[in-house]
């Protein structure tokens, strides 16, 4: 296992030139992924259509991928990326893995290859859930990274099946008697465990060392590893610039997306999120800075305190109930060994 | 291109990224291939089996992705049986959960190693389901993707599993090289030849050979299989290492949102490569004929065409039902005292416009037979009419539909359609199109 400092000095495969929003969690995730994968093995990424894809590969912008100013002379530092349609990242990564394995099996390829699939939650959990689960079920030896910003950010912040309840999205507007998203998010962590993944995690670069260690563990898996990266979205969640990491930490600690790492045969662990609600940060601290919850909460101009809007107490309670169930669910999943 | 040689894998810069030489050595893959035939063999096979045998004999095919869809299902069944039965075989069968995933899998596997061939077979709604990625692949430059399409009507009413080519004709603009086959031998021979066109450095375009469901996919006939070694020698003459990097041996970005600085230039390049098919395909076909003694791939087949090219009634069609026309052609011509000849179109995309024009220029009437639903006068009709448009005195074009939904086109139907063409010869032009079935205009 590499040290945090050693990884920090490596060369990332994510380069300047992307048009991701300043402070986007996806960029931070890619910087980290890029450094962890600079480990002496050829790296191949696949990426489904997503915010991350259109912001890093799309004409007329530069291609924001690659290690170094120029392609490296050393093959093991080289980097390739394939973009295909929304739902395809896992299937494509599986194909790359298979071809590399077949070539290796024949003795036609001597160098090790590591393959990482990248999707947004729209690509992996909505359009591509079938592809994701079947790739896992086939035990493909790949690492799947799903950047979960809970919306279809690419097309203008519409509802995705990962959206937390009651949020204001472009297609679940905060108007009328039942404002915001009426659905519960799909239990993607449990689904991936059930499908047969060897490692399933929910962790963001806000937990820096754990994030890097989890990626390293994932790359060493013999089967499929899936890492869901909670990705606070400045434009979609509607918060002020500079608060990405703070919200990623708060969201994890408050129980909205607890940090969780599970390994087949070993079980899992919830980190930095207490099971009891009273021991966790108040949800209002997490929700308050985000205007996607502005229909539920308001800030007292005199005291600065965030409080439920008049008449919205039932929805706030509904949200809190969901968060508690979410935390309980992950603690229960942690007990699973297989 | 420039080359840096500071490592064990010299790096070459190309317009599509950098390529590391020697990272992949395919000689062991070729050596590991277990031949199906060491000498020429006569077998009995249906169309699916013919297509399966061809890809099983290719050393460049190491993984076969598939999903069952009538009437192409037997292709993947047969592949699976052969791969499983070969002790020590390192080839793999990849059973995906849906056709869309098959297409995605093909895209990435072909991008991974551009010197191997990645085939699948599909049909109808399977091809429809692949459409999104097929369209992407069309522009990808990955000539090593081969989708064998067993023609069946796209999803519509009424459900039908017979050979209606509306699925493949609905993909005319996908960017794939589409070539139609009839008969088991032609299916087998075409599958062997078409990667040589698609992977040619001037072309680099994926391929879609196809044949009619049920009519050809499920009916047996004699098939001559060539020895694997002879097939390899033939293909190796044409398929040279791709000059562009793949994902494994390259430092590159690929995909349908990854374009060069000159987006229009990219699209122009795709179009130019597509047009090159018209140069390369006849050369490959001619070499195949020299090598194996059977007709190679071509733009079209002819029936009863005189040396002079002077024809009263020229028939343009495709597929196995054209054989019925060939059977009655001579008798019909004699009975009515006219010269009747036919073109059975093979290359659907790119359509061989110039060659078709040259062939039809001295015909008086051209009867075009369409077998798939179309919004207007028929897919083939529009292409033929376009081919003829600049002639000083172009022949009249009579358009018909028949055999839709995969129905057989009977002799009486052919005669009724020919009668329509004959009336046009006499100056009695029929409506813009007519539909025929069992000898009657509907």
pLDDT the model gives residue B6: 47
What is the model's pLDDT at position B259? 57
Q: How many residues does chain B have?
A: 442
Helix, coil or strand: residue A272: coil
Nearest neighbour of B258 by CB, restricted to A83, A100, A108: A83
Residue-level pLDDT at B257: 66
Using CA atoms, how far apart are residues B352 and B41, in angstroms rounded to an integer? 34
Residue A67 is predicted with a pLDDT of: 94
Alpha-carbon distance values, B408 to B50, B164, B213, B356, B436 (Å): 22, 10, 12, 26, 11
Tens digits of per-residue pLDDT, A181-220?
999 999 999 999 999 999 999 999 999 999 999 999 999 9
Phi, psi of A130 (to 5 degrees): -60, -50
Please write down the HEC assignment for all residues of A188-249. HHHHHHHHCCCEEEECCHHHHHHHHHHHHHHHHCCCCEEEEEECCCHHHHHCCCCCHHHHHH
Q: Specify whether the CB–CB gap between B356 and B373 falls below 8 A.
A: no
Q: Tell me the whole-structure pTM to 2 decimals.
A: 0.96
Give the integer Cα–Cα distance in Å for B137 and B106. 9
Question: In angstroms, rounded to a whole number, what is the distance separating the alpha carbons of residues A226 and A199?
Answer: 6
- Using 50 as the pLDDT threshold, list the residues of chain B that sit under it: 1-6
- pLDDT for the residue A231: 98
CATH fold of A4-335: Rossmann fold (3.40.50)
Q: Where are the domains of chain A?
A: 4-335
Residues 211-250 of B with CB under 8 A from A: 245-248, 250
Token digits of residue A129? 């859930």
B289-303 exposure pattern, b = at least 16 Cβ within 10 A, e = fewer: eeebeeebbbbbbeb
Delineate the domains of chain B, giving CATH numbers in brackets: 27-292 (3.40.50.970), 300-441 (3.40.50.920)
| DSSP β-bridge partners for residue B19 | B12, B250
Q: What is the pLDDT of residue B268?
A: 86
Within 8 A of B133 by CB-CB distance, chain A residues are: 84-85, 88
Pairing label, strands B11-14, B3-4: antiparallel
Sign, CA dihedral B249-B254-B260-B261, equals negative
Question: Kind of pairing, strands B253-255 and B300-303?
Answer: unpaired
How close, in Å, is residue A81 to chain B by CA atoms? 5
CB interface of A with B, residues 108-137, below 8 Å = 108-109, 111, 113, 130-131, 134
Question: What is the C-alpha separation between B271 and B275, in angstroms, rounded?
Answer: 6
Q: Are B116 and A95 in contact (CB under 8 A)?
A: no
Sign of CA dihedral A29, A31, A37, A43: positive
Q: What is the mean pLDDT of residues A213-228?
A: 98
CB pairs under 8 A between A and B: 173
Under an 8 A CB cutoff, do B251 and A107 touch?
no
Q: What are the Cα distances from residue A67, in Å, to A21, A287, B284, B387? A: 22, 38, 41, 51
3-state helix, strand, coil in chain B (%, to 5): 40, 20, 40
d(CA A74, CA A78): 7
* CB A133, CB A226: distance < 8 Å: no
Give the best residue of A92, A124, A139, A142 to mutate against chain B (max B CB count within 10 A): A92
d(CA A42, CA A55): 24
Tell me, yes or no, if A15 comes closer than 8 A to chain B by beta carbon: no
Q: Mean pLDDT over residues A167-172, rounded?
A: 96
In this predicted model, what pLDDT tens digit does every residue of A139-166 receive, in sequence order? Answer: 999 999 999 999 999 899 999 999 999 9
Nearest to A81 among B92, B101, B253 (CB): B253
Residues of chain B contacting A56 with CB distance shorter than 8 Å: none
Q: What is the pLDDT of residues A258-292, one digit of tens each?
A: 999 999 999 999 999 999 999 999 999 999 999 99
| pLDDT for A62 | 78
Return residues 50-69 of A near B (CB < 8 Å). 53-54, 57-60, 63, 65-66
What gap in Å lies between CA B141 and CA B244, rounded to an integer? 9
Q: How far apart are CA A260 and CA A338, in angstroms?
A: 16
Please, what is the angle between helix B47-56 and helix B73-85, to 10°?
40
Dist. CA B196–CA B270, nearest whole Å: 18
């Amino acid at each position: 296992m590499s040290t945090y400092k050693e990884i920090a000095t490596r060369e990332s495969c994510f380069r300047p030139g992307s048009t991701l929003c300043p402070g986007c969690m996806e960029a931070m995730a890619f910087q980290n992924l890029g450094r962890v994968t600079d480990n002496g093995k050829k790296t191949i990424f696949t990426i489904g259509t997503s915010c991350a894809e259109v912001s890093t590969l799309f004409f007329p912008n530069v291609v924001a991928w690659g290690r170094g100013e120029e392609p490296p002379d050393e093959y093991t530092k080289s980097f390739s990326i394939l973009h295909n349609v929304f739902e395809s990242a896992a299937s494509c990564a599986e194909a790359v893995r298979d071809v590399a394995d077949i070539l290796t099996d024949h003795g036609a390829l001597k160098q090790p290859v590591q393959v990482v699939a990248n999707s947004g939650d729209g690509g992996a959990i909505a359009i591509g859930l079938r592809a994701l689960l079947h790739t896992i079920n086939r035990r493909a030896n790949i690492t799947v990274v799903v950047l979960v910003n809970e919306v279809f950010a690419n097309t203008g912040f519409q509802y995705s099946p990962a959206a937390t309840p009651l949020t204001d999205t472009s297609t679940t507007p905060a108007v009328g008697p039942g404002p915001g998203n009426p659905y519960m998010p799909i239990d993607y962590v449990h689904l991936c465990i059930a499908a047969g993944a060897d490692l399933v995690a929910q962790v963001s670069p806000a937990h820096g060392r754990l994030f890097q260690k989890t990626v390293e563990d994932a790359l060493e898996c013999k089967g499929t590893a899936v890492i869901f990266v909670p990705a606070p979205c400045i434009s979609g969640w509607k918060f002020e610039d500079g608060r990405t990491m703070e919200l990623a930490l708060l969201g994890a600690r408050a129980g909205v997306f607890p940090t969780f790492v599970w390994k087949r045969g070993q079980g899992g662990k919830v980190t930095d999120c207490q099971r009891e609600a009273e021991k966790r940060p108040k949800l209002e601290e997490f929700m308050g800075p985000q205007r996607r919850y502005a229909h539920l909460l308001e800030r007292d101009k005199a005291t600065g305190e965030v409080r439920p809007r008049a008449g919205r107490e039932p929805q706030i309670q509904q949200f809190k109930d969901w968060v508690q169930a979410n935390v309980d669910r992950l603690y229960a999943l942690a007990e699973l060994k297989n | 291109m420039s080359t840096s040689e500071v490592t064990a894998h010299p790096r070459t810069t190309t317009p599509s990224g950098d390529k590391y030489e020697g990272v992949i050595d395919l000689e062991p893959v070729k050596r590991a291939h277990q031949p199906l035939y060491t000498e020429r063999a006569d077998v009995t096979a249906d169309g699916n089996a013919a297509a399966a045998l061809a890809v099983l004999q290719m050393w460049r095919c190491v993984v076969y992705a598939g999903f069952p869809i009538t009437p192409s299902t037997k292709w993947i069944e047969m592949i699976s049986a052969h791969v499983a039965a070969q002790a020590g075989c390192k080839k793999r069968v990849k059973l995906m959960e849906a056709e869309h995933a098959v297409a995605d899998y093909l895209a990435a596997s072909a991008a991974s190693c551009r010197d191997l061939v990645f085939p699948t077979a599909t049909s109808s709604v399977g091809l429809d389901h692949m459409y999104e990625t097929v369209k992407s692949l069309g522009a990808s430059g990955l000539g090593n993707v081969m989708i064998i399409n067993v023609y069946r009507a796209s999803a519509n009413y009424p459900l039908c599993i017979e050979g209606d080519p509306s699925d493949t004709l609905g993909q005319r603009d996908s960017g794939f090289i589409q070539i139609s086959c009839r008969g088991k031998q032609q299916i087998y021979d075409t599958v062997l030849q078409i990667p040589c066109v698609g992977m040619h450095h001037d072309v680099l375009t994926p391929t879609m050979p196809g044949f009619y469901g049920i009519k050809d996919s499920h009916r047996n006939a004699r098939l001559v299989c060539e020895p694997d070694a002879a097939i390899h020698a033939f293909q190796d003459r044409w398929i040279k290492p791709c000059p562009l990097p793949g994902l494994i041996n390259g430092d590159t970005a690929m995909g349908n949102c990854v374009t060069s600085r000159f987006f229009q230039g990219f699209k122009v390049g795709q179009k130019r490569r597509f047009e090159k098919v018209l140069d390369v395909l006849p050369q490959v076909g001619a070499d195949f004929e020299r090598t194996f003694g059977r007709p190679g791939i071509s733009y079209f087949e002819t029936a009863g065409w005189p040396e002079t090219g002077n024809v009263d009634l020229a028939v343009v069609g495709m597929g196995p039902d054209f054989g019925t026309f060939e059977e009655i052609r001579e008798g019909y011509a004699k009975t009515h005292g006219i010269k009747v000849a036919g073109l059975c179109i093979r290359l659907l995309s790119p359509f061989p416009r110039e060659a078709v024009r040259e062939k039809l220029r001295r015909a008086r009437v051209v009867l075009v037979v369409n077998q798939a639903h179309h919004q207007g006068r028929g897919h083939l009709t529009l292409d033929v009419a376009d081919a003829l448009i600049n002639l000083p005195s172009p022949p009249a074009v009579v358009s018909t539909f028949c055999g839709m939904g995969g129905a057989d086109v009977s002799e009486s139907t052919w005669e009724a359609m020919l009668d329509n063409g004959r009336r046009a010869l006499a100056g009695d032009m029929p409506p813009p199109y007519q539909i025929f079935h069992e000898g009657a205009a509907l």
